[in-house]
Amino acid sequence: EHTVYLKDYAPSPYRIVAVDLDFRIGAETTRVTAQLTVEPREDTEPGTPLVLDGDELSLGSIAIDGAPLILSAYAADANGLTVFEPPLRRFVLETEVTLRPEGNTRLMGLYRSSGTWCTQCEPEGFRRITYYLDRPDNLAVFKVRMTAPLDLAPVLLANGNLIDKGDAGDGQHYAVWEDPFPKPAYLFALVAGDLGSITDSFTTASGRKVDLAIYCSHGKENQCLWAMDSLKRSMAWDERRFGREYDLDIFNIVAVSDFNFGAMENKGLNIFNDRLVFAEPETATDANYDGIERVIAHEYFHNWTGNRITCRDWFQLCLKEGLTVYRDQEFTSDERSRAVKRISDVVTLRSAQFPEDGGPLAHPPRPDQYREINNFYTTTVYEKGAEIVRMLATLLGEAGFRKGMDLYFERHDGEATTIEAFLAVFAEANGIDLEQFKTWYLQAGTPRLTVAEQYDADKQTYTLRLRQETPPTPGQPDKAPLVLPIKFGLIGPNGSPMAWSGVSGAEVRDDLIVLKDASAEVTFTGIPSRPVPSLLRGFSAPVILQTEASQQDQLFLARHDSDPFNRWQALQDVGMALALDAISGAPLNDGALTALSQAMSDTLASDSLDNAFKALALSLPDEQLIGRTIGKDIDPDKIHAVRERLLQAVFEPLADQMLGTYNALASSAPYAPDPASTGRRALRNRMLSLLVASDAAGASLLALKQYEGASNMTDRLAALSAASNAGTPDAAGMLANFRTRFGADPLVLDKWLTVTAAAPREGVIEDMKAILADPSFPKTNPNRLRSLVGTFAMGNPTQFARADGAGFRFVTDFVSDVDKVNPQVAARVLTGFRIWPMLESGRREAANAALLALRDKGSLSRNTADILTRMLA
Catalog residues that contact ligand HT7 under the rule CB under 6 A.
Answer: 120, 122, 260-261, 263-265, 298-299, 302, 321, 374, 377, 824
| Partner whose binding site includes residue 374, from ligand HT7, Zn ion, none (CB under 5 to 8 Å by kind) | ligand HT7
Catalytically annotated residues: 299
Cα–Cα distance measured from residue 131 to residue 141, given in angstroms and rounded to the nearest whole number: 16
Q: Where are the beta strands (DSSP E) in 457-518?
A: 461-469, 484-491, 502-504, 507-509, 512-515
Residue 786: CB minimum distance to ligand HT7, A:
13
The answer to whether the beta carbons of residues 181 and 307 sit under 8 Å apart is yes
The answer to whether the beta carbons of residues 414 and 247 sit under 8 Å apart is no
Residue 352: CB minimum distance to ligand HT7, A:
15
17: three-class secondary structure by DSSP: strand
Q: Which residue is nearest to ligand HT7 (CB)?
A: 261
Q: Could you say which residues in the range 300-359 bind Zn ion, by CB under 5 A?
A: 321, 324
Distances, alpha carbon 617 to alpha carbons 276, 486, 572, in Å:
27, 22, 8
Residue 590: CB minimum distance to ligand HT7, A:
49
**CB-nearer residue toward Zn ion: 324 or 337:** 324
Which residues are CB-contacts of 666 (< 8 A; sequence separation ≥ 6)? 684
In eight-state DSSP terms, residue 476 is: B
b/e map of 728-767 (b: 16 or more CB within 10 Å)?
Answer: bebbeebbeebbeebeeebbbbbbbbbbbbbbbeeebbee
Cβ-based neighbour number of residue 21 at 10 Å = 20
| Degrees to nearest 5, angle at CA 123 with 297 and 445 | 80
Residue 266: CB minimum distance to ligand HT7, A:
9
**CB-nearer residue toward Zn ion: 255 or 642:** 255
The answer to whether the beta carbons of residues 277 and 293 sit under 8 Å apart is no
Residue 203: CB minimum distance to ligand HT7, A:
26
**CB-nearer residue toward ligand HT7: 184 or 653:** 184
Residue 50: CB minimum distance to ligand HT7, A:
27
Cβ-based neighbour number of residue 222 at 10 Å = 12
Helices (H) and strands (E) counted in the chain, each on its own, are 29, 33
Cα–Cα distance measured from residue 768 to residue 756, given in angstroms and rounded to the nearest whole number: 8
**CB-nearer residue toward Zn ion: 52 or 323:** 323
How would you class 167 by CB atoms within 10 Å of its CB: exposed for 0-12, middle for 13-18, buried for 19 or more?
Answer: exposed
71: three-class secondary structure by DSSP: helix
**CB-nearer residue toward ligand HT7: 418 or 824:** 824
**CB-nearer residue toward Zn ion: 321 or 750:** 321
Q: Which of 146, 128, 127 is nearest to 136 (CA)?
A: 127
Residue 443: CB minimum distance to Zn ion, A:
23
Q: Which of 53, 60, 61, 49 is nearest to 80 (CA)?
A: 53
Contacts with Zn ion by CB under 5 A: the residue count is 2
Residue 267: CB minimum distance to Zn ion, A:
14
| Partner whose binding site includes residue 377, from Zn ion, ligand HT7, none (CB under 5 to 8 Å by kind) | ligand HT7
Q: How, if at all, do strands 91-99 and 190-193 pair?
A: unpaired
Residue 260: CB minimum distance to ligand HT7, A:
4
The CA R_g of the chain, rounded to the nearest whole Å, is 28
Cis peptide before 123 (omega within 30 of 0): yes
Q: Rule CB under 5 A: which residues touch Zn ion?
A: 321, 324
